[in-house]
Amino acid sequence: MKSFTGTSIKGLKNKNRTLILKLVATCSPISRVEIAKETGLTKMTVGNLVNELIERGFIAECDTSPETVSVPGRKPSMLQISDHSPCICGMLIKRGLCQVILADLSGTIISQSERKYQHSIDAAWLVDTLMELFLNLKQGFTREILAIGISSIGPLNSHTGTILKPPFFYQIENLPITSIISKKTGLPCFLINDANAGALAEKLYGLGKKFHNFAYLHIMNGIGAGFVLDNKLFDGHRGQSGEIGHTSINFSGPRCACGNVGCLELYANLDQMQRRIRSMCSYFPGSSLSAAPESVTWEAIIREAGKRDPLALAALEEFCDYISYAMIDALNLLDLSTVIVGYDAPDNSWPVERFLSDKLSNAVIAAPYRELHILHSCFNGNAPLIGAIAVAAEQIFSLNLPVFEPEQNENESCDLPEAENANLAGGSTYSQDV
Ligand SMILES: [Zn+2]
């Protein structure tokens, strides 16, 4: 991948352009003054680069912010991603569901399509389905598509773009998904583990923007975690970090398909919750869950727990007990005090966060000395899907994927030193006025 060293005018200009683009994408609406303050660039440099980004169609002025509405005659000065700006395609691969979306650099979804499946599938079906969904969305879509991000169940190798051998995922293994999709579409393609994608979505676009360190915990269709440390996603040796569902919470427990014993996912799952409900339903005949405990869904448990149904609360508390055993280890090991939890839930949902908060507050070593934040993801259960956009956007924002055609007069070299910049979401970066 081409990258800029920052030692030429071209490199510095691209850094500054991209820095501003990232701020507008992740913090909009934002003013030129706020951009200058955040980046350390002069107002004149910001003004010039903003005008250029507007001309190139990446950003646009929007309505004035509430504070400036009352100033008579003041021109709109806030900036956001343009309605005509280039976009990213995001693909999500799950057991039973494929989703494809087109979104702008701010993570705002423009169009989406999905295919549910219950039958056995193979690699060819998976690729064909993703391509069919992509081409359907692309039909009549006039905006440029810069890249494709793929968020998938693991294990996978994000460096080679290969889905390795996810458990219970039919016979699909060693699938070089990024090279196949890239070849078929002609677009750069990036692969990320779904829970890491959730963490990245929160860091770029969600609640994680204001935290330097946090864990994202995804608890739908298995349990995974993503960790943001020092403002950056920590994705391990080959992008396979965060397999918290396969950490053991019982050394004498049953053997898991992964090879370990007593894995968290063997205990914190829907079958176990249904068993818990069945064992208690005679005590709570009035519960809506007691009629057919063996077919109770996750959605029903979450919904009824929000209404304080005792059976749903009992099942969910046990589920959170198991999760907390693994999360206590993670928070203690990494000295974290923020957990963002992703799952589908109605607006009034509170029990999962409440149970986890109570259990972790009583067991994490650092908890007595600082507040633990257990938050529900602002994307509900969709953070891994938004993360498919985020993984490609991050490549653009970190200059690994150049999107600006250099101007002719930008080829001169210079020896300007790099100046440390203000702290920005997604990691430290550098700027110098040019
Ligand atoms: Zn396991």
* Cα gap 201→340, rounded to integer Å: 11
CA of 253 to the centre of ligand 1 (A): 11
CA of 262 to the centre of ligand 1 (A): 7
CA of 257 to the centre of ligand 1 (A): 6
DSSP string for residues in 52-88:
HHHHTTSEEEESPPHHHHTSTTPPP-EEEE-TTS-EE
**Residue 300 CA: distances (Å) to CA of 12, 304, 353, 363:** 53, 6, 17, 29
CA of 58 to the centre of ligand 1 (A): 44
CA of 186 to the centre of ligand 1 (A): 37
Residue-level pLDDT at 421: 45
- Dihedral sign from CA coordinates of 263, 264, 267, 273: negative
CB 264 within 8 A of CB 195: no
Percent helix, strand and coil across the chain, each to the nearest 5: 40, 20, 40
CA of 266 to the centre of ligand 1 (A): 8
- Dihedral sign from CA coordinates of 296, 297, 299, 301: positive
Residue 406 is given by DSSP the state P
Beta strands in 212-335 (DSSP E): 214-218, 224-229, 232-234
CB 135 within 8 A of CB 83: no
Residue-level pLDDT at 330: 94
Residue-level pLDDT at 239: 83
CB 280 within 8 A of CB 272: no
Q: Extract the tokens encoding 371.
A: 């507040």
Total count of residues recorded for the chain: 434
* Cα gap 282→68, rounded to integer Å: 61
Helix and strand counts by DSSP (H, E) for the chain = 12, 17
CB 146 within 8 A of CB 187: yes
CA of 330 to the centre of ligand 1 (A): 16
CA of 178 to the centre of ligand 1 (A): 26
Mean pLDDT of the chain: 88
CB 233 within 8 A of CB 199: yes
CB 192 within 8 A of CB 239: yes
Residue 171 is given by DSSP the state B
- Dihedral sign from CA coordinates of 181, 183, 187, 188: positive
* Cα gap 325→215, rounded to integer Å: 15
User: Phi, psi at residue 208, to the nearest 5°?
Assistant: -70, -10
Q: Extract the tokens encoding 289.
A: 């869950």
Residue-level pLDDT at 221: 75
CA of 69 to the centre of ligand 1 (A): 56
Phi-psi region of 331 (alpha: psi -120 to 50; beta: other; left: phi over 0): alpha
Task: Indicate the angle between helix axes 43-55 and 32-39, nearest 10 degrees.
Answer: 120
CA of 346 to the centre of ligand 1 (A): 30
CA of 267 to the centre of ligand 1 (A): 11
- How would you write the pLDDT of the chain (434 residues) with one tens digit per residue? 343 444 577 788 889 999 999 999 999 999 999 999 999 999 999 999 999 999 999 999 987 655 544 555 565 589 999 999 999 999 999 999 999 999 999 999 999 999 999 889 999 999 999 999 999 999 989 999 999 999 999 889 999 999 998 888 888 999 999 999 999 999 999 999 999 999 999 999 999 999 999 999 999 778 999 999 999 999 888 888 889 999 999 999 999 988 899 999 999 999 999 999 999 999 998 899 998 888 999 999 999 999 999 999 999 999 999 999 999 999 999 999 999 999 988 876 789 999 999 999 988 888 888 889 999 999 999 999 999 999 999 999 999 998 887 665 555 444 343 434 433 434 434 455 55
Beta strand pairing call for 373-376 and 419-420: unpaired
CA of 171 to the centre of ligand 1 (A): 18
CA of 289 to the centre of ligand 1 (A): 29
Residue-level pLDDT at 432: 58
Residues 6+ apart with CB under 8 A from 427: 230, 231, 232, 398
CA of 256 to the centre of ligand 1 (A): 4
CA of 248 to the centre of ligand 1 (A): 7
**Residue 230 CA: distances (Å) to CA of 194, 211, 261:** 21, 9, 32
330 CB neighbour count, 10 Å cutoff: 19
CA of 246 to the centre of ligand 1 (A): 4
CA of 264 to the centre of ligand 1 (A): 7
Residues 6+ apart with CB under 8 A from 259: none
CB 242 within 8 A of CB 261: no
170 CB neighbour count, 10 Å cutoff: 14
CA proximity to 265, closest of 199, 325, 215, 309: 325
CA of 226 to the centre of ligand 1 (A): 17
CA of 238 to the centre of ligand 1 (A): 19
Tokens 């692309």 locate to 138
Residue-level pLDDT at 434: 52
Q: Extract the tokens encoding 266.
A: 């063997």
CA of 265 to the centre of ligand 1 (A): 7
Residue-level pLDDT at 276: 94
CA of 199 to the centre of ligand 1 (A): 21
